Structure 1
Amino acid sequence: MYELYQMMLQQMGPTGWWPADSKNEIICEAILIQNTNAENAERATANLRIQTAFDGNALLDLPSAKLENLIRPAGFFKNKGKAIHNFFAWYHQFNYQPELVVQRFGKDLRKKLLTLHGIGNETADVLLTYVFDQPTFISDKYARSLFTHLGIKGLKDYQSLARRCQLTVAFSLADAQEFHGLIDEIGKKYLRRTDHFADSFLDDYQLILH
């Protein structure tokens, strides 16, 4: 899989993903992007940026109705509002310091994240990779679609790929972050709305997962 990553990086160049000014912003964006498109999530993110600058205490102090109104463009605003509030209420215990969270939970951090409201498998893996600096493969829809094109069968849901695909020690944190960005970029270019993967440089590539 590292060979695939290197090929994509060479052909496409670095994406610099996840583009954000702070880890608190990434947390909010990871929740807001659920079940919506990037444009709607970005509108909600912009509202939060103006109102709070993604300061942890400012986010936590927002009344529920105000928070929900700000993130309304992203849809599911009640559930996402609760997820953001509950996450930062928990994160506040660690003074919004990701390294303190890692020290506390270690390898059990993913399990802990999954107990928080609104944090599912994909969001947990995004947070691990981009907030808590633990390289993780993110088996999102674009990844499943790409890997299906590359010959991996039976990828029906998030866990169907996540169980089969773990990053090797060759992947640094920066590599893991970039790999996700590259997969999503190729997804947006070749797999969004209409599938024209045959036009991509990976059309003849076959992936083998060990």
Structure 2
Amino acid sequence: MHQNMGPSGWWPAESKEEIIVDAILIQNTNWQNADHARLLFKNQTDFKPSSILAMTNEERQNAVRPAGFFRNKSKAIYNIFSWLDKYNFDYSAIKSIFGTDLRHHLLQLHGVGEETADVLLTYVFEVPTFISDKYARTLFTLLGVQNLTDYRSLAKRYQLNNDFTIEMAKDFHGLIDEFGKVYFHPQTKFNKSFLAHDELILK
């Protein structure tokens, strides 16, 4: 994928705070809707933690609204930023404090499911993690892997090996999603892709 597509440049954001907001906004919607909401957040807060935490509940919900599920997503953004504020948004310190339990603690936060937790681990806390999102499951299925019904069905079967650096992990997820945007709408376009005749075998 890297040879054919080049580096993905993912996650396309100017700060980790922007990535956190993006990761919540993209849940259960498309990139167009999430991007509309992201621009509202950028215009109102420039993704500064103090500005996001200072927003009223109504202001947050209105900014989230284009991405759908605005009440839950607004609450999720507030709760995550409130939790990070306890540690002064020192991501390295948080990673050090929680160690291998960090994913578990992220999953305790409102609005953070397994996919969002893995996105935050990779792009915010610099922990190389395979993100088993819908694009990844679609790709692996098209490459011959069976019974990928939900996030865990792929995540429990495939994880990055120790050779993956954090930059490689970020790029891998980005490449899969960029590939999916081009070749999965509709899925028949996959047959014309450079991976069409490949097969993936998971041990």
Question: One fold, TM greater than 0.5?
Answer: yes
Select which of 50, 53, 64 maps to 1:60: 53
Aligned with 1:184 (options 152, 157, 177): 177
- Distance in 1 between residues matched to 2:185 and 2:162, nearest whole Å: 31
The answer to whether structure 1 residue 48 and structure 2 residue 41 are counterparts is: yes
Q: C-alpha displacement at 1:168, in angstroms?
A: 0.6
Q: Give the whole-Å Cα distance in 2 for the aligned partners of 1:84 and 1:178.
A: 25
Identity of aligned pairs, percent? 55
1:157-172 correspondence runs (5 A): 157-172=150-165
In 1: Cα distance, 2:187 partner to 2:169 partner: 27
Q: Structure 2: which 5+ runs fail to align?
A: none
1:57-109 CA distance string (max 9 Å, x none) = 11111110111011111110000000000000100011011111101100000
CA drift of 1:195 comes to: 3.0
Distance 1:38 1:193 in 2: 16
Runs (5+) with no aligned partner, structure 1: 1-7
Instruction: Tell whether 2:91 aligns with 1:124.
Output: no
Q: Distance in 1 between matches of 2:128 and 2:55?
A: 32
Q: Aligned-pair distance for 1:12?
A: 0.8
Distance in 2 of aligned mates of 1:101 and 1:62: 24
2:79 match: 86
Match of 1:173 in 2: 166
Task: Please give the alpha-carbon distance, in whole angstroms, between the structure 2 residues aligned to 1:112 and 1:192.
Answer: 35
Alignment size in residue pairs:
203
Q: How does 1:74-153 map to 2 (within 5 A)?
A: 74-153=67-146
Instruction: Tell me, in whole angstroms, the C-alpha distance in 2 between the residues paired with 1:14 and 1:111.
Output: 30
Once the 2 structures are TM-superposed, how far is the Cα of residue 192 of structure 1 from its aligned partner?
2.4
Match of 1:17 in 2: 10
**1-side partners of 2:147 and 2:187: how far apart?**
21
How far off its partner does 1:194 sit? 4.3
Report the AA paired with residue 165 of structure 1: Y
| Partner SS, residue 128 of structure 2 | coil
1:208 is displaced (CA, Å) by 1.7
Per the TM alignment, residue 190 of structure 1 is displaced from its structure 2 partner at its CA by: 0.7
2-structure distance, mates of 1:36, 1:148: 22
Output the amino acid matched with 1:114.
Answer: L
> Is the partner of 1:103 in helix, strand or coil?
helix
Show the counterpart of 2:148. Answer: 155
How far apart in 1 are the matches of 2:186 and 2:60? 31
TM-superposed CA distance for 1:193, in Å, is 3.9
2:190 to 197, 201, 205: 197
Measured in 2, the distance between the counterparts of 1:25 and 1:14 equals 21
- TM-score, normalised to structure 1, is 0.95
SS in structure 1 opposite 2:62?
Answer: helix
Q: Which runs of 4+ in 1 moved over 3 A?
A: none
